[in-house]
Structure 1
Amino acid sequence: MTPTPIPRPWLKFYEEGVPHDFTPSRLTLPELLRETAERHPNRVALSFLGANTTYRELWHNVQRLALALEKMGVSPGDRVSLMLPNTPQFVVGFYGALLAGAVVVNTSPLYVAEELGHQLRDSESETLIILDSFYPRYAAVQDQVPVKRVIVTGIQDALPFPKNLLYPIKARREGTWVDVPDSSHVVKYSDILRFQPPTPGASKRTPRDLALLQYTGGTTGTPKGAMLSHCNLVANAEQARAWMTDLKDGQEVTLAAIPFFHVYGMTVAMNLSVLIGATIVLVPNPRDIGMVLSQIETSKATLFPGVPTLYNAINNHADTPRHDLTSIRACISGSAPLLLETARKFREITGGANLVEGYGLTEASPITHTNPIFGEQRSGSIGLPMPGVNAIVMGEDGQVVAPGEVGELWVAGPNIMLGYWQRSGETAQTLREAHGQTWLLTGDMAIMDEDGYFSIVDRKKDLIIAGGYNIYPREVEEALMSHPAVLEAAAVGLPDPYRGETVHAVVHLKPGASATEAEIVAHCRQHLSAYKVPRSVEFRSEELPKSAAMKILRRQLAKEALEEREAQKSA
């Protein structure tokens, strides 16, 4: 079936050097790493708390792990779950499992035992690579999951001497040390790397083969595994490379604070960095803003992919003025809407770093749109489709809407998933054949202007309908965040007997700041139509709840607000 040409008005706004047409390479992910190791064998690939690993050493460790997995009985297509923070072991585990022909299953370190058990069962993972401090959560469900072999590692395995000896002492003193019991199915990661010689191995998979099960965040129901192929993931890294025209092969330094177990961090902070031979500075805890700041300064990081809550935290951290952040050249913000005030202040404190908003979904590997790094950036816009991505805005009648009209965003390209793991029904609802292409129905309401710049109005499922009016939370949150006392904010819909729903604001104030409900509402009235103004404001003394990818959990806030309302009624 020949694809029907889709108008692409956005091409005229591509920066010089960005290709109008895009064809992904025929590489698998292990081949991507091998080629970089051949080009830059002595370049530092991983920098972790004083320990450096070159690309040659990284490739050798990946080969060691792949051979060990094969000897343990892992066959091509088997699932290997990784439950690790941003450490060298994650990178070795990811590429090593893929070199062995396995399928990686990214697993959030924030999962409680029940969530871990569900994902291990759903993915049918027989192998788990896990940090020792997370082991008790696995132990709680080990009799309920199909796991046959566990590879356990610790932070100390990646530290230089003498930190590797001192870390266990420190952890025991702080009460965070976990003794993993001896078991026939438990193997130490350190033993694998110590005793396994690096053995050259050819990739056992093709670009079209499944590489990753990336589970959605579960904000719309039970998490489901998006099936991403080697081609999907390599293509998206190459699309990002094509977009960022000034990247210098073998010279960049990426500050990797965004978690690798999240698809955005995995693609932009890890796979893109490997593609261009960048040094990856690993930050295991992105919530430790002090460490993030010091690592940027000491490493002279040039690339800093992140999420809005991370940039906002840096903007408002007490130590930020004491650190030199001017080495940063480019930042693509993903995972959640980038509010205008957050972007403005971050550019100011970094001396003009190009912080631009992008957009993507787990099911798209994930990036589909971003603003030009050096070209025209439009406030409030997610920018232009990436090279190789087609995008349309579809009306409820099944017809493409005109520029400026709201509809559901559909995207197509080489980065679009194969489907959902063992969920053919949900796959059929999410992927649609049209115009000779396979389209991903994003569930996001969007507008495309006449120049091809797209803006997300909001998620369909987050839409607040009050008195028959559609209210998009992002609009309300922009108004809330422009108040000088507000550090974080979310807008949610609560049931209302008269209007159907009403807007409820949840805010967390900056340290030392104060504001009343009346002041917040009055401020919003200056920026919003009357029907969009919050009817109630809730103040939180602690930061708002976030997912593992640091997205504010609107639905959790709505549920808690509703429970509080019901409790007050019955009191």
Structure 2
Amino acid sequence: MGWNFGDILDAVGPNVSPEAPAFIHGSRVINWGDAVRMTNNMARGLIARGAQPGDKIAIYMRNRPEYLMAVAAGWKARLTHVNVNYRYTPEEVWYIFDNSDAQTVVYASEFRDAVTEIRPRLPKVKTWVEVSETGEVASFAEHFDALGEEGNGGPLDIQRSGDDQFFIYTGGTTGMPKGVMWTHHDMREITLQGARKLGPVPETLEELAEATRRMPVGSRILPAPPLMHGTGLLTSMGTMMAGGCVITLEKPNFDAEELLTAIDAHKPQTLVIVGDSFGKPILNALNAAPGRYDVSSILTIVSSGVMWSHEVKKGMLEHMPQAMLSDGFSSSEALGMGNSIMTKDSEVQTAKFMLGERCKVFDENDQPVEPGSGKSGMVAIGPPNPLGYYKDDEKTARTFRTINGVRYSIPGDWCIVEADGTLTLLGRGSACINTAGEKVFPEEVEEALKTHPSVDDALVVGLPDEKWGQSVTGVVRLAEGASLDEDALRAHVRKSLAGYKTPKRVVSTDQSIRASNGKADYATAKKIAETTLA
């Protein structure tokens, strides 16, 4: 029947010490015994309320144990996970619930007003579950804790399938968010492919249960980015399915000092971030108070999704010399395109990745790009891949294409393949700027801007221009105490990049130009540039 995440939890859960921590959130600790009992009860309760295999369970909350417990309950009940961006407006949240055909919604009480506003237009949602710290829930909702206490806590007696689905809604750079459809088995196989290179791995549920019984203590992970996005969620899922402990932060917005305090207190071995947008604040906090935080437990720092610069990696290793920095080149629809590993003894340059075993690079005519040719191409990753985008056959056909008999996922990431087989990432084609007939990938210019000491963060957008078609325009957040010097920044970029890639204008802002997961918010950056230069 293939790997199923619910079956994996049924194999792992009873074989972890019931007193071992499964989730830590500030002073709250939920042990494995309670987590197994509550998620079993919740799964059975959702089925009793009408949920059928394949129905969608949408989860609308910030990082907290209940997010992952709802995910686990959904797996056990054979429901399909749907992530919801809590930064969205009520209308955008309605779109996700409606587009996904959500049957169950689990939400935090802080979003009760938004849910109340859109609920009349969501007739397909049959069960609303509210996570409330006060005990009060909306009149139309079930209480999360009460649902978890309803029953004997035993496992469900149901047959699951490796074809059960798991959705990751991704915003991308253009258009409305789309639900990427993965099967449990295919997503699990990608994880196992990497693990098999390191040694034998459990290949059956019985072997997994036995390995869990022999495990002296589970690993601990601290995901800094939101669980509503792939980087934080997928890494946390892996730890949960290995009988480990997931540590989440309490503050609504990322705070580097809170993170370092949690590392000091709870000793995770793995830290998950999203590039420089998390790495820089962490590095600044470490530099501001050398020796204040014990970060010696960190053995691996995992990042994916945005640029993680060499300078920031090097600085972090000065404080955590024991750590291995794993920089993944992936997207929700293309897991495992490439990876780079940096340690104190082995450095790598920004945006340089080793091509994954399932990957190839094709030009616009679907011809392979020869290493060392200097030609750019699009990264394509072979199976296992998602089934496609939910209810969007057109986008599915554009992204998932068959070349020479192999079905590839080609999300639009452009790169150059070096003679040694490594990739130098250029950027996503949908964000590419066409200026006077030349292609400019924003990420390349952004990295050049960010190496200037006055710049804390930068995004680059294309604005309409009568002469150039589009003009390359930089939007920067300045370092504390710095002032904007456009000419100096343009000259700095010009030292490392061609003239046509140099921004025609650079503007500064105090607004955030990143989404909560650290990814670029190009729409906001473009509005800032348009307003400033109007």
**TM more than 0.5:** yes
Contact 2:329 2:337 in 1 (8 A): yes
Match of 2:376 in 1: 406
**1:533 corresponds to 2:502:** yes
Matches within 5 A, 1:15-34: 26-34=2-10
Amino acid at match of 2:170: T
Contact 1:408 1:444 in 2 (8 A): yes
Q: Distance in 2 between the 1:427 and 1:153 partners?
A: 35
Match of 1:85 in 2: 62
Provide structure 1 residue ranges, at least 5 long, that are not aligned to the other structure: 1-24, 157-167, 169-177
Contact 1:409 1:444 in 2 (8 A): yes
Match of 1:252 in 2: 219
Amino acid at match of 1:232: D
2:228 to 261, 269, 272: 261
1:273 to 221, 239, 242: 239
1:514–1:324 CA distance, 2 compared to 1 (3 A): farther
1:327–1:62 CA distance, 2 compared to 1 (3 A): same
Amino acid at match of 1:342: V
Instruction: Please report how far the alpha carbon of residue 352 of structure 1 lies from its aligned counterpart in structure 2 after TM superposition.
Output: 5.2
> SS of the residue aligned with 1:498?
coil
> SS of the residue aligned with 2:271?
coil
Q: Distance in 2 between the 1:467 and 1:182 partners?
A: 59
Q: Distance in 2 between the 1:369 and 1:538 partners?
A: 33
Range moving further from structure 2, 484-493 or 131-140: 484-493
Q: Distance in 2 between the 1:297 and 1:240 partners?
A: 30
Match of 2:421 in 1: 452
What percentage of residue pairs aligned between the two structures are identical?
24
Match of 2:17 in 1: 41
Contact 1:30 1:203 in 2 (8 A): no
Match of 1:235 in 2: 189
Range moving further from structure 2, 132-141 or 283-292: 283-292
Instruction: Please report how far the alpha carbon of residue 27 of structure 1 lies from its aligned counterpart in structure 2 after TM superposition.
Output: 2.0
Contact 1:36 1:55 in 2 (8 A): no
Match of 2:527 in 1: 559
Instruction: Please report how far the alpha carbon of residue 203 of structure 1 lies from its aligned counterpart in structure 2 after TM superposition.
Output: 5.1
Match of 1:126 in 2: 103
2:89 to 112, 127, 143: 112
1:445–1:320 CA distance, 2 compared to 1 (3 A): farther
Instruction: Please report how far the alpha carbon of residue 82 of structure 1 lies from its aligned counterpart in structure 2 after TM superposition.
Output: 0.8
> Which digits, 9 at most, give the CA deviation of each residue in 1:203-247, with x for residues without a partner?
54311222x221111521011111111113322443454577899
Contact 2:341 2:348 in 1 (8 A): no
Matches within 5 A, 1:59-208: 59-145=36-122, 146-154=124-132, 156=133, 168=134, 180-183=137-140, 186-202=141-157, 204-208=159-163
Amino acid at match of 2:316: F
Contact 1:130 1:151 in 2 (8 A): yes
Q: More relative contact order in 1 or in 2 (CA 8 Å, sep 6+)?
A: 1
Q: Distance in 1 between the 2:460 and 2:144 partners?
A: 45
Instruction: Please report how far the alpha carbon of residue 564 of structure 1 lies from its aligned counterpart in structure 2 after TM superposition.
Output: 3.9
1:219 to 164, 173, 177: 173
1:428–1:352 CA distance, 2 compared to 1 (3 A): same
Q: Distance in 2 between the 1:320 and 1:235 partners?
A: 42
Amino acid at match of 1:229: T
Q: Distance in 1 between the 2:366 and 2:77 partners?
A: 44
Give the TM-score taking structure 2 as reference length.
0.89
Instruction: Please report how far the alpha carbon of residue 148 of structure 1 lies from its aligned counterpart in structure 2 after TM superposition.
Output: 1.8
> SS of the residue aligned with 1:355?
strand
Instruction: Please report how far the alpha carbon of residue 537 of structure 1 lies from its aligned counterpart in structure 2 after TM superposition.
Output: 1.2
Aligned-pair Cα RMSD in Å: 2.5
Provide structure 2 residue ranges, at least 5 long, that are not aligned to the other structure: 202-210
Q: Distance in 2 between the 1:301 and 1:526 partners?
A: 41
Q: Distance in 2 between the 1:111 and 1:83 partners?
A: 10
Contact 1:240 1:272 in 2 (8 A): no
Give the TM-score taking structure 1 as reference length.
0.84
Contact 2:22 2:32 in 1 (8 A): yes
Q: Distance in 1 between the 2:174 and 2:115 partners?
A: 25
2:407 to 415, 438, 453: 438
Matches within 5 A, 1:316-327: 316-317=284-285, 321=290, 322-327=292-297
> SS of the residue aligned with 1:117?
helix
> SS of the residue aligned with 1:545?
coil
> Which digits, 9 at most, give the CA deviation of each residue in 1:32-72, with x for residues without a partner?
22222243234322112122223332222211111111111
Match of 1:19 in 2: none
Instruction: Please report how far the alpha carbon of residue 489 of structure 1 lies from its aligned counterpart in structure 2 after TM superposition.
Output: 1.0
Amino acid at match of 2:7: E
2:299 to 326, 329, 337: 329
Q: Distance in 2 between the 1:202 and 1:433 partners?
A: 40
Q: Distance in 2 between the 1:228 and 1:363 partners?
A: 8
Q: Distance in 2 between the 1:486 and 1:244 partners?
A: 40
Amino acid at match of 1:552: A
Q: Distance in 2 between the 1:438 and 1:202 partners?
A: 36
Q: Would you say how many aligned residue pairs link Structure 1 and Structure 2?
A: 512
**1:473 corresponds to 2:442:** yes
> Which digits, 9 at most, give the CA deviation of each residue in 1:228-275, with x for residues without a partner?
11113322443454577899964422112222221221111x122123
Match of 1:390 in 2: 358
Contact 2:475 2:528 in 1 (8 A): no
